[in-house]
Structures are given as C-alpha cells and as structure tokens.
C-alpha cells in the first residue's frame, strides 16, 4: 500500500450565479454554472503511525487547526464507524497557488481533494455519493470539487447536474486586486441590498434544464451570452476597482468578463490565445494576481510522485 499520495486541487469559476431566495435554515437557494479551471493547489497526504492528524500549509493565513473546515472534514471521515479502523494517522501538506477568499473555491477544493486522496490512499470502500454527503456537512460547494468539470448546480449549491465539459477549452484571464471577500459577508450584504430593492441588473433568462440535457458541449458564443453574477454590482459598489478591472478586460477584447463567486477575482473570456496573451502582457503588472488559464475537465488529479509537484 502507498505511504503517500500527491494531488492537484483545482480552482473554479462561476460562469453563471444567481440567488433565488433565502431559505429557512439561513442558506440561500441558488442557480450556478460551475467550471473547473487549470489553476491548482498542491496537496501531499502522508500516512503516519498512530491516529494523529497534522495539517500544514505554506500560507499562514489558511486555517488548519481543529476548528477549521479542512480539519473537521478529515476528522469526519477518520471517525466514521465504517472506516476508522482502516485509516491511520495523517500528515497533510497544502501548497497554495489559489488566492484565499477570492471566489475561486480554493478552500473547498482542498477539502474535496483531501477526502478523495484519503479514499484512494487507504482504499476505502466508500462511494463518491457518500463522500459527497460528508463534504456537504462542511460546505455546500465541496461536492462540486469531487465531480469537477462543467456542472450546473442548484438548491444550496449541492444539487449537481454534470454537463459535457467545454471543448475546446476556453481561454481565461484571472485578475485579483488583492482584496479578500468573505462569502458570509457577501451573502449578508446581498440580503441587505435586496431588502432595499436597489438592484437594477436582472439575470439572463436561461433554461438550464435544456443546457443540462445537451449532448454536446457549450460553445464559446453561448458561454459569453450566459455569463452573469448577481453579486457583481454590489461588490463593485463596495470595491470600485472591480468595475475598473471589468472595463479593462472588455477594452482588451474579452468576449465577456465577470466576478467569480462572491469575489474578488474577475475573469475575462478570450476568443484566442493571442488575444489572451496580449491582455496578459498589458495587465500583468497592474494587480497582485494576474494569471492566464483555461477551462479544464480535471479528470486526472493525482501526481505519480512528489517529483512532479512544483516546489
């Protein structure tokens, strides 16, 4: 049996995000189109003797203690009655490339990747649906990171409808102005704005049941037409730099530009790699985080050895 495993923990963007209303349990009903992108953290899981759990991250701003979401998720799996005799102690190392609190889902992706890694490392006889059930107890978007690719989600974000992955891959430019935005804060602020009825932008009228039932992938023109994020106007009002980034992306030729999640990362969709490269060269020195990437199905997430990890 392997003593260690090495995993790519991919980021996401929301090609579409709309809040339908607030639920009685404090969560919100949403519709969103998740898309995995080719940007990832690197995770190393190592078996240890005993039953201890140690989590380390090269970014000190990432919570890894006993009250953290990642610790609680791992502990749920380790203490599950069906599996706890199969799982030994663990040391987990997280190397961050995805900005924190950026709308790219880095924390949720890390949890999903670690749960998948533990399942593989210890050969646990657990179905992905059961693993997703554990994940949902920690965060509603974590199940998406277990499936990955192009996925429509509704409910609280945990009801998933996998779609044909985008092909060919869509060229993206990510820009983060160095602002961390709490998802909890964003939803509360959205609720306050909604009560005041100050929203003027309406979500595109889309039939996602038709999109989900498609037997072929979405095309670039279709994607550009559905891009929407209900948080964007509110976040731009609080942080005007968001609007300025969007304007720059549009001026540089992006077919569409939007906020991912609750921000603060903006993404621009480009029709060609040449246009993407030109925008990147123009904007790369203007913000702390400017990255070229693309959409990806992310079916393969395991490194063969630690030598393949970028240290």
Q: Give which of 36, 8, 21, 25 is closest to 141, Cα–Cα.
A: 36
At which residue do the structure tokens 């890894």 appear? 64
Quote the CA–CA distance of 235 and 102 in Å, as a whole number.
12
Quick one: three-class SS letters along the chain? Answer: CCCEEEEEEEEEEEEEEEEEEECCCCCEEEEEEEEEEEEEEEEEEEEECCCCEEEEECCCCCCCCCCCHHHHHHHHHHCCCCCCCCCCEEEEEEECCCCCCCCCCHHHHHHHHHHHHHHHHCCCCCCHHHHHHHHHCCCCCHHHHHHCCEEEEECCCCEEEECCCCCCCCEEEEEECCCCCCHHHHHHHHHHHHHCCCCCCCCCCCCHHHHHCCCCCCCHHHHHHHCEECCHHHHHHHCCHHHHHHHHHHHCCCCEEEECCCCCCEEEEECCHHHHHHHHHHHCCCCCEEEEEEECCCCCCEECCHHHCCC
What residues contact 157, with CB distance under 8 A and at least 6 apart?
A: 30, 32, 140, 141, 144
Exactly one of 8, 141, 246, 248 is catalytic; name it: 141
Catalytic residue among 12, 41, 246, 248: 12
Query: Is 191 labeled as catalytic in the residue annotation?
Result: no
Determine whether 12 is an active site residue.
yes
Lookup: tokens for 232:
């964007």
Residues catalogued as catalytic: 12, 141
């Amino acid at each position: 049996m392997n003593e260690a495993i090495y995993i790519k923990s991919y980021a996401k963007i929301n090609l579409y995000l709309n809040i339908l209303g607030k639920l009685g349990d404090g969560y919100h009903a949403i519709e969103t189109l998740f898309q995995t992108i080719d940007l990832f953290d690197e995770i190393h899981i190592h078996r240890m003797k005993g039953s201890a759990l140690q989590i380390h991250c090269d970014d000190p701003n990432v919570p890894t203690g006993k009250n953290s979401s990642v610790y609680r998720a791992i502990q749920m799996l380790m203490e599950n009655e069906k599996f706890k005799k199969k799982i030994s102690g663990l040391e987990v190392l997280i190397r961050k490339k995805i900005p924190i609190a950026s709308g790219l889902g880095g924390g949720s992706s890390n949890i999903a990747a670690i749960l998948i890694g533990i399942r593989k490392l210890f050969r646990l006889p657990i179905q992905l649906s059961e693993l997703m059930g554990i994940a949902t107890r920690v965060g509603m978007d974590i199940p998406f990171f277990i499936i990955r690719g192009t996925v429509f989600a509704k409910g609280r974000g945990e009801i998933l409808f996998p779609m044909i992955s985008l092909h060919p891959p869509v060229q993206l430019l990510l820009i983060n102005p160095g602002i961390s935005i709490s998802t909890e804060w964003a939803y509360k602020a959205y609720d306050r704005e909604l009560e005041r009825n100050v929203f003027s932008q309406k979500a595109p009228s889309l039939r996602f049941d038709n999109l989900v039932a498609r037997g072929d992938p979405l095309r670039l023109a279709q994607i550009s037409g559905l891009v929407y994020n209900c948080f964007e106007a509110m976040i731009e009002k609080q942080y005007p730099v968001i609007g300025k980034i969007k304007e720059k992306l549009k001026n540089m030729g992006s077919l569409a530009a939007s906020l991912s999640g609750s921000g603060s990362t903006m993404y621009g969709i480009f029709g060609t790699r040449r246009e993407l490269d030109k925008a990147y060269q123009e904007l790369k020195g203007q913000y702390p985080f400017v990255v070229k990437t693309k959409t990806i199905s992310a079916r393969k997430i395991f490194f063969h050895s630690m030598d393949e990890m970028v240290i």
